[in-house]
Structure 1
Amino acid sequence: MEYEVGTVLEGKVTSITKFGAFVALEGGKSGLVHISEIANTYVNDVHDFLQEGQDVKVKLLAIKDGKLDLSIKKALPAPERPAQRSFQPRPAAAPRPAAAPRRPAVQAADTTPSGDLAFEDKLKQFLSSSERKMADLNRNISGKQGGRRRR
């Protein structure tokens, strides 16, 4: 029997594995239903959804090197979505109380009168901290590479 991708077929579960289930189809062929194609929900254990010998409807997803990829969840009718709620504005809420005043931030010694570091000062701080970190990293790496000699 010639199978076409997208057709819905009847089959019987012949064996169950941890990654899916094998289904025997009419015509002597069998295919795999991967665990991700068993149900529309998360499947931790295939045995929770299928038993050996169970009749199932499957949809043929693909034929690769003579192997049939099947899906049970795509053979089922699409699950109903909950009805969309119409937009209803919320009633006006009472005004929120004012937030507590913030304390002024502590200023660094090398700040401009506005309290912000100038861009050049920020850049210098970043470069110096970056160079320190790189030096530490290189020191740690070079200490671990020693001990081997070439022949």
Structure 2
Amino acid sequence: MSIEVGSVVNGVVTGITNFGAFVELDGGETGLVHISEVADAYVKDVKNYLKVNEEVNVKVISVDDDGKIGLSIKQLSDKNKRKKFTKAPRKSFDDMMSDFLKESSEKQQDLRRSLEKRSGNVR
């Protein structure tokens, strides 16, 4: 199977490390989803986002001369976000503000949990 940069392929997570996840692609080749390419949010532990044997869709972002394949999950979600905003019906200002406040609140909760874990005050 020829892997081309920019293509979206299916694969299975075969291993998780502190720097990312290895994904076996259809055709038997293996690529790496670096921790920075797992999600839009800050990822401290890849295991919070992916599990071994989980089936995932990934975007091929690089193939170097040694045959190492760089993959991204995050860039697929970015593509979906752009599509959502460009093809969705226009929202009112109140709806957009409500969406923003909800997303902001969720991000604040994630930050609070992260800070609580660091300080040892896990609830």
Settle same-fold status: TM greater than 0.5.
Answer: yes
Displacement of 1:13 after TM fit? 0.1
Deviation at 1:68, TM superposition (A): 0.2
> Shift in Å at residue 75 of structure 1?
1.9
Q: Secondary structure of 1:43's partner? A: coil
Q: Which has the higher helix share?
A: 2
Q: 1:60 matched to which residue of 2?
A: 60
Match in the other structure for 2:43 = 43
Distance 1:68 1:58 in 2: 11
Distance in 2 (alpha carbons) for counterparts of 1:84 and 1:72 = 30
Q: What SS class does the counterpart of residue 36 from structure 2 fall into?
A: helix
* Equivalent-residue separation in structure 1 for 2:76 and 2:57 (angstroms): 6
Larger radius of gyration: 1
Normalised by the length of structure 2, the TM-score is 0.63
Q: Partners of 2:81 and 2:27 in 1: how far apart?
A: 28
1:17 CA displacement? 0.0
Q: Relative contact order (C-alpha < 8 Å, sep 6+): which is higher?
A: 2
Matching residue of 2:72 = 71
Q: Deviations over 1:53-110 (max 9, x none)?
A: 00000000010120000001112322767x6849xxxxxxxxxxxxxxxxxxxxxxxx
Give the superposition deviation at 1:19: 0.3
Cα shift at 1:8: 0.4
Alignment correspondent of 2:115: none
After superposition, the C-alpha distances for 1:90-144 in whole angstroms (9 at most, x for unaligned) are xxxxxxxxxxxxxxxxxxxxxxxxxxxxxxxxxxxxxxxxxxxxxxxxxxxxxxx
Gapped regions of structure 2 (runs ≥ 5):
86-90, 95-123
Counterpart for residue 29 of structure 2: 29
Q: How does 1:1-151 map to 2 (within 5 A)?
A: 1-64=1-64, 65-76=66-77, 77-78=80-81, 85=93
Superposed displacement of residue 3, structure 1: 1.2
What is aligned with 2:97?
A: none
